[in-house]
Amino acid sequence: MSTPEIRVEGLHKSFGDNHVLRGIDLEIGQGEVVCVIGPSGSGKSTLLRCVNLLEEPQQGTIVVGGTELTDPDVDIDAVRRRIGMVFQQFNLFPHLDVTENLTLPQRRVLGRDKAAAEKVAAENLARVGLADKAHAYPSSLSGGQQQRVAIARSLAMGPEVMLFDEPTSALDPELVGDVLAVMRGLAEEGMTMMVVTHEMTFAREVADRVVFMDGGVIVEQGTPEEVIGNPKNERTRHFLSRVLDPAMAEVDDVPGKTAE
């Protein structure tokens, strides 16, 4: 692996009595794309949110770009400027047009003047294929277009790392492809990316490494060919059989159902 851009060691996170992360160890190299897969409740999104301390772990170490986020004296705002985050929901300001949604954080957080911020906004809207929507309002955009605006907003901050928390899960199926195409382009540019996703085709084609989580631990990790194509662990095989061919799910797998 190349020099680690993200390093997680011995990470534990609980919500009350619910022990969500149980000693996670993970490294992501510079320019590496890692897709994190697993069933709902496995701890995937919690792990992602811990990487920029949106969730604070009870135990463990997180290092991003050589800076330890879990150091009590860390300037977390300075570190977060280097980490882009894209959520399931788009979180755009409805009363601002697309350009204003991109320039506001640049001006407030990075201190750029209006002209410089608008130039960066235009460059990144073009990057996600939405140069013609610069003055549109979010309500006039499809869900896929809004998510691409959200990606452009993160990119306008000049991040070294991009975190994606199931960025296509709130989209209609026909809108997923455009968002994944933008993410594929970022991967080709060499952006370090950690992606929580259920899109197995994207993980298979774009990821350098796939991490399968279940029950708050990393069960298996490796290349897409290893983890998706030829999983070694029975938990991984069971999960993939349901995701890749949901029509074949057993009756016993359906909550509240019993076989006749």
Tens of pLDDT along 25-78? Answer: 999 999 999 999 999 999 999 999 999 999 999 999 999 999 999 999 999 888
CA distance 226 to 166: 22
pLDDT in tens, 133-153: 999 999 999 999 999 999 999
Report the share of the chain in percent with pLDDT over 90: 81
Question: CB-based contacts of 26: which residues, under 8 Å, 6+ apart?
Answer: 6, 7, 8, 34, 47, 211, 218
pTM: 0.90
Helix (H, G, I), strand (E, B) or coil at 114: helix
Q: Residue 258 pLDDT more than 50?
A: no
The answer to whether 95 and 101 have CB atoms below 8 angstroms apart is no
Helix (H, G, I), strand (E, B) or coil at 174: helix
Higher pLDDT, 255 or 108: 108
Tokens of 115: 């002209």
